[in-house]
C-alpha cells in the first residue's frame, strides 16, 4: 500500500497479500481455539488502528478485513495440515469474498483465464443489472438509479460506521468466516 504509484495486477496483489500474512504471523502449532482467538485479536488490533485514522477509517477497515480474512485462511489451512501454496490461498480468498463461485474458477482466474479483474467486473455488472427494472417507466428508472447510486455510494464512502461495529463484534464474524473456510477446505 505504501508505493501507490507502482502498477500491479489484482492477481499479484492477492499473492503479495498472502505472502505478507505468512511473513507477519508464522506459528506452527495452534488449536482450533487458538486460531479463533488469534483471528479475533488480529481483527480487533487492526480495527482499532483503522478507527484511529479518522476520515480514512472506512478504507483502512476494508484493508484490515482483507488482510485478516487472508490470515484466517492461512491459519485454518495450517491447523488442518493443509500445505497450500500462496496462489492456492489466494484462490480460497477469491471464493471467500464471493468473487469466484468455486475454487476451480478462482484458480483459473489467478492464472489469467479469465483475469480476476474480469471476474470482479462480471460480479459487479450482475449486481448492478439486478437493479434494472423489466418495464422502463420514469418511476422504475428513478428507483433503479437510486438503488445503484446507493450501492456505489457505500463502496465510495467505505461504510465508515461499519468500522466500529466490525471491531466491537469481531467474534461472531470470525466464527462465521472460520466455518466458511473449513467448508471450502472440505473439513466437517
**Residues 45-97: tens digit of each pLDDT:** 887 777 777 777 777 777 888 888 899 999 999 999 999 999 999 999 999 88
CA dihedral 177, 180, 185, 188 (to 10 degrees): 120
Closest CA to 16 of 89, 119, 114: 89
pLDDT average, residue stretch 136-155: 60
Q: Residue 152: pLDDT above 60?
A: no
Give the pLDDT of residue 125: 74
d(CA 129, CA 88): 31
Q: Mean pLDDT, the chain, as a whole number?
A: 78
- pLDDT tier at 159 (50, 70, 90 boundaries)? very low
Phi, psi of 65 (to 5 degrees): -60, -45
| Distance (Å, whole) CA 101 – CA 98 | 6
Distances in Å between the alpha carbon of 39 and those of 54, 172, 184?
A: 24, 11, 18
Domain ranges of the chain: 10-114+158-184
Mean pLDDT of 23-40: 82
First to last CA, the chain: 36
Per-residue pLDDT tens digits for 95-116: 988 888 999 999 999 998 898 8
Rg, C-alpha atoms of the chain:
18
In whole angstroms, give the CA distance from residue 39 to residue 176: 12
Instruction: Please tell me whether residue 136 adopts helix, strand or coil conformation.
Output: coil
> Which position has the higher pLDDT, 26 or 50?
50
Amino acid at each position: 500500500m505504501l508505493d501507490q504509484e507502482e502498477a500491479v495486477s489484482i492477481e499479484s496483489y492477492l499473492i503479495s497479500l498472502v505472502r505478507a500474512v505468512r511473513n507477519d504471523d508464522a506459528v506452527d502449532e495452534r488449536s482450533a481455539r487458538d486460531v479463533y482467538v488469534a483471528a479475533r485479536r488480529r481483527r480487533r488490533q487492526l480495527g482499532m488502528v483503522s478507527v484511529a485514522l479518522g476520515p480514512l477509517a472506512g478504507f483502512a477497515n476494508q484493508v484490515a478485513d482483507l488482510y485478516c480474512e487472508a490470515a484466517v485462511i492461512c491459519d485454518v489451512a495450517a491447523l488442518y495440515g493443509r500445505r497450500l501454496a500462496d496462489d492456492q490461498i489466494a484462490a480460497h480468498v477469491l471464493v471467500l469474498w464471493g468473487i469466484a463461485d468455486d475454487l476451480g474458477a478462482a484458480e483459473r482466474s489467478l492464472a489469467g483465464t479469465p483475469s480476476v479483474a474480469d471476474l470482479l467486473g462480471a460480479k459487479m455488472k450482475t449486481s448492478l443489472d439486478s437493479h434494472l427494472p423489466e418495464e422502463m417507466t420514469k418511476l422504475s428508472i428513478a428507483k433503479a438509479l437510486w438503488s445503484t447510486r446507493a450501492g456505489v455510494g457505500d463502496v465510495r464512502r467505505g461504510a465508515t460506521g461499519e468500522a466500529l461495529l466490525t471491531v466491537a463484534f469481531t467474534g461472531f464474524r470470525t466464527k462465521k468466516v472460520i466455518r466458511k473456510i473449513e467448508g471450502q477446505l472440505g473439513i466437517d
